[in-house]
Amino acid sequence: MARLSHLDRHGQARMVDVDAKPVTHRVAIAQGAIKMRPATMRAIVGRSVPKGEVLAVARVAGIMAAKRCGELIPLCHPLGIDSVEVSFDWSSPAGQRREHTSLLIRATARIRARTGVEMEALTAVAVAALTIYDMCKAIDRTMEIGGIRLIRKTGGTGR
């Protein structure tokens, strides 16, 4: 069984010591999706959602969340992120019911550090999706958030 780095030898939670790790350029890309009715998509694209410009607000929310990840996740290192990008792409995945469409959310986080930025990229996607849900819930309570996962990470040693 693999040893979990967030547990000490007694099984107690701890913050991982990254002091001995080299500083490297690291990149993490995460994505997820929010499924919604086509009418909701049209309202977002047409900028007619009563709460405002959904994608602009969700992009800023995702960036802000990535920057505060160390405050949200207890054992996550607080990081000075070099950049975070949040993008959106409309899709209609195979096998999906016609009465729904999906908005793919992708976040890319970059840093030069001793630890990775996977959690920051994942948090950016999750909070961007939650922001979209919050802004559109009055017009569509059928929305579903899902598929949030790490797509790629680079940097560090041996992984």
Which tens digits make up the pLDDT trace of 62-94? 999 999 999 998 888 888 999 999 999 997 555
Residue 9 confidence class, pLDDT cut points 50, 70, 90: confident
Q: Which CATH number is 128's domain given?
A: 3.30.70.640
The active-site residue out of 17, 82, 89, 134 is 134
The domain tally of the chain equals 1
Q: Is residue 10 a part of any domain in this protein?
A: no
**pLDDT per residue as tens digits for the range 103-124:** 999 999 999 988 889 999 999 9
Q: Degrees (nearest 5) of the Cα angle 73, 78, 84?
A: 90
Q: Is residue 69 a part of any domain in this protein?
A: yes
Provide the domain limits for residue 47.
24-154
Q: Is residue 86 a part of any domain in this protein?
A: yes
Q: What is the C-alpha separation between 141 and 129, in angstroms, rounded? A: 14
Active site residue 89: no
Q: Is residue 41 a part of any domain in this protein?
A: yes
Q: Is residue 115 a part of any domain in this protein?
A: yes
Sequence length of the chain is 159
Q: What is the C-alpha separation between 109 and 86, in angstroms, rounded? A: 9
The b-or-e profile of 42-51 (16+ CB within 10 A means b, else e) is ebbeeeebee
- Positive/negative CA dihedral, 15, 77, 31, 142: positive
Specify the pTM.
Answer: 0.87
Average pLDDT over residues 126-135: 98
Q: Is residue 44 a part of any domain in this protein?
A: yes
Please choose, from the candidates 155, 157, 67, 156, the residue with its C-alpha nearest in 3D space to the C-alpha of residue 107. Answer: 67
Q: Is residue 159 a part of any domain in this protein?
A: no
Please choose, from the candidates 94, 91, 85, 121, the residue with its C-alpha nearest in 3D space to the C-alpha of residue 104. Answer: 91
DSSP 38-86: HHHHHHHHTT--TT--HHHHHHHHHHHHHHTHHHHSTTSPP---SEEEE
Q: Is residue 11 a part of any domain in this protein?
A: no
